[in-house]
Structure 1
Amino acid sequence: MTHGVSVRSATISDLLALMHLESLFAPGDRISVRSWRRFLTRKGCVQVAESGDGILGAVVVLVRKGGQAARIYSLAVDERAQGRGVGRALVEASLAFAALEGCKRLNLEVRPDNDPARTLYRKCGFVERGIKPDHYAGGTSALVMDRAVPQRAAEIFEQ
């Protein structure tokens, strides 16, 4: 992918690295070990971006059985990898996974004060659709963003 970064499906052997990435989030926003274990049993649900430096980021994408929309549940990029295209590579992997699952839309929630993430999502074609009150721990609202899922793989990378 970008700057020597590749994306692959995560495995249970990635659990410690995923927990390290979770330490970037506020305690109330972190994914539990139990949830990570459950997510890792779903093929393709968790994707990791890595390079020679190890795992640099991860994304969790959830799809309800028979659903038309996928959701980026969590996306984290290690501080040492910011600005290297890791976030974009993970968003592209999310779109590809959603397309494989037959989804028409990909949505997410993001903190209103997370300007780097909001900028990334806008560059990847996401549009702000509304506000979800009291979404995060501590009562912080979330911005809801979404975009269409390209049905052809080539369209994912045209953004």
Structure 2
Amino acid sequence: MTTTAHAGIIPVGIVLQVITACPPKDREVLAAKVAKLEKKIFPSSEAFDYSIELKKKNIGLVLAAREGSQELVGYLVFQRLKSQAWLHKLATIEQERGKGIARCLIHSLCQQMKKGGCRTIVLWVDEARNPARALYASCGFQQIERLPDYYGPGRTALKMEVDIVE
């Protein structure tokens, strides 16, 4: 049974790992794993260079893997800036979508940032990515800005934000 992340329940068979500071010895392997998954999900023009990103002190990851294996099924990349966090990227492999993994990744980020004194989480999403927009809205994100051609000609971005203080 899968429940929503609002209840804080991780889908059966999935484990989460939060990485807020990636040790140098683990960085290369982790960067390669996330980059491999990203290539399957996002256009190459939207790819991050994780070997560089993971060196930054304020960049973190929340990873979702199959229990008992090292196989990643999803990830979330965030950046902490004082009382605000930016959700930079969220992805789940196609065969695992709709099972609550992405919602659980978002919930994990919210809990982690709230404990650290963060007040809001902000993101940009392509207006044409309806499933992503619906997910964010269901997690409490509200649109606060619209920016035409942000992702390229004809690709509008929506800035969304959620308040995570009680």
TM-score (norm 2): 0.78
Q: Note the residue ranges of structure 1 that are not aligned, 5 or more in a row.
A: 152-159
1:94 maps to 2:109: yes
The alpha-carbon distance between structure 1 residues 137 and 33, as it changes in their structure 2 partners (threshold 3 A), is farther
Q: CA deviation at 1:129?
A: 1.3
TM-score (norm 1): 0.81
- 2:92 pairs with 54, 63, 77, which one? 77
8 Å Cα contact 2:128-2:155 kept in structure 1? no
Q: In structure 2, how many angstroms separate the alpha carbons of the residues matched to 1:114 and 1:29?
A: 14
Deviates more, 1:16-25 or 1:84-93: 16-25
Deviates more, 1:24-33 or 1:3-12: 3-12
- 1:108 pairs with 123, 127, 136, which one? 123
- 1:8 pairs with 9, 17, 21, which one? 17
8 Å Cα contact 1:3-1:84 kept in structure 2? no
| Matching residue's letter, 2:14 | V
8 Å Cα contact 2:58-2:80 kept in structure 1? no
Q: CA deviation at 1:111?
A: 0.6
Number of aligned residue pairs: give it.
147
Q: In structure 2, how many angstroms separate the alpha carbons of the residues matched to 1:37 and 1:75?
A: 16
| Matching residue's letter, 1:57 | G
RMSD over aligned Cα atoms: 2.1
Cα displacement string for residues 135-159 of structure 1 (whole angstroms, at most 9, x for unaligned residues): 32556221111111145xxxxxxxx
Q: In structure 2, how many angstroms separate the alpha carbons of the residues matched to 1:95 and 1:113?
A: 25
Q: In structure 2, how many angstroms separate the alpha carbons of the residues matched to 1:117 and 1:15?
A: 24
1:30 maps to 2:47: yes
Q: CA deviation at 1:78?
A: 1.0
Q: In structure 2, how many angstroms separate the alpha carbons of the residues matched to 1:37 and 1:71?
A: 15
Deviates more, 1:101-110 or 1:52-61: 52-61
8 Å Cα contact 2:87-2:121 kept in structure 1? yes
8 Å Cα contact 2:58-2:79 kept in structure 1? no
| Matching residue's letter, 2:35 | M
Q: CA deviation at 1:76?
A: 1.0
